[in-house]
């Protein structure tokens, strides 16, 4: 079960980062939807694993290859999912995952049949230019640092909250964890798309098990509140540093969302 969980963890990341890398809005949106379905697969596998008295972890053995075209990304996804499906069992959950993945493969095949869907990928070119904006080098540097730090933080929080959610019978806790997971998905998506626009798309680093195997929940939540406060300060500093109205408003928007995350975590306390 842990091996299957790791496989789905990889597939979720493959899909979500493919959606960040591809510029075509229709393909991007559809792949992101499939990534969310695969994240639910992870959740269901985790629940089944715990019901059987076993455990799982977030160990990772994958790389994000710097693909140069939409079709190479799609072909990689096609190969990864075809290989993964060989390891599914024959229970109800495996049946659901298989039919979901078969539909994804059908969608990918349809895309590959139309050459007009292919396009260059610039998400890894390290150009560090954001759209048509003329940002000073120090502003680009500040934005780059923020995106790397915060994309890891959001990835980390998604997995930690999911890990704790699977282990609580308290409805209020479960709902708060779900809200925090959903919010972190949105932030990761926002930051991942910005990284791709800058040409610096990269996987967040792997989590050590001590990050998510929480012994002292109260301490973890208090530390999390302090981390959210620090993220709010980073957002405010970035909003002030970047002389661009659109980007400043976006980081103010994220800052206000972090404020509510703190309120949710205080509710847990």
Task: Map out the domains of the chain as residue ranges.
Answer: 1-121, 122-269
Q: What percent of the chain clears pLDDT 90, i.e. is strictly above it?
A: 72
pLDDT of residue 81: 97
Length of the chain counted residue by residue = 269
pLDDT of residue 67: 92
Domain 122-269: give its CATH code: 1.20.1260.10
Q: Compute the distance between CA of residue 35 and CA of residue 12 in angstroms, rounded to an integer.
A: 5
Equal fold, 1-121 vs 122-269: yes
**227 falls in which pLDDT band (50, 70, 90)?**
confident
Q: Compute the distance between CA of residue 44 and CA of residue 111 in angstroms, rounded to an integer.
A: 29
pTM, two decimal places: 0.94
**With 90 as the cut, is the pLDDT of residue 242 above it?**
no
26 exposure class (CB count in 10 Å sphere: 0-12, 13-18, 19+): exposed
CATH of 1-121, one of 3.30.540.10, 2.60.40.1260, 3.30.450.20, 1.20.1260.10: 1.20.1260.10
Q: 3-class secondary structure for 13-27?
A: HHHHHHHHHCCCHHH
pLDDT in tens, 158-190: 999 999 999 999 999 999 999 999 999 999 999
> Left if phi > 0, otherwise alpha if psi is -120 to 50, otherwise beta: which for 150?
alpha
Q: Compute the distance between CA of residue 256 and CA of residue 51 in angstroms, rounded to an integer.
A: 38
Closest by CA to 7, choosing from 65, 92, 94, is 94
pLDDT of residue 228: 85
């Amino acid at each position: 079960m842990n091996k299957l969980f790791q496989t789905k963890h990889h597939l979720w990341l493959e899909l979500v980062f493919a959606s960040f890398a591809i510029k075509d809005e229709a393909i991007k949106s559809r792949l992101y939807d499939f990534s969310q379905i695969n994240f639910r697969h992870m959740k269901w596998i985790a629940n089944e694993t715990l019901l059987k008295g076993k455990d799982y972890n977030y160990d990772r053995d994958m790389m994000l290859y710097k693909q140069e075209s939409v079709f190479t990304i799609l072909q990689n996804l096609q190969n990864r999912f075809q290989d993964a499906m060989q390891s599914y069992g024959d229970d109800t959950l495996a049946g659901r995952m298989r039919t979901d993945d078969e539909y994804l493969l059908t969608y990918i095949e349809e895309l590959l049949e139309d050459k007009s869907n292919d396009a260059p990928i610039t998400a890894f070119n390290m150009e560090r230019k954001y759209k048509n904006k003329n940002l000073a080098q120090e502003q680009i540097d500040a934005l780059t640092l923020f995106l790397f730090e915060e994309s890891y933080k959001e990835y980390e929080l998604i997995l930690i909250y999911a890990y704790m959610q699977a282990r609580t019978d308290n409805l209020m806790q479960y709902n708060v964890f779900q809200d925090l997971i959903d919010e972190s998905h949105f932030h990761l998506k926002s930051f991942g798309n910005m990284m791709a626009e800058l040409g610096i798309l990269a996987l967040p680093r792997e989590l050590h098990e001590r990050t998510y195997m929480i012994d002292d929940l109260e301490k973890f939540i208090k530390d999390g509140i302090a981390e959210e406060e620090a993220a709010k300060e980073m957002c405010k500093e970035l909003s002030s540093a970047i002389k661009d109205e659109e980007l400043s408003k976006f980081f103010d928007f994220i800052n206000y969302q972090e404020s509510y995350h703190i309120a949710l975590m205080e509710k847990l306390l």
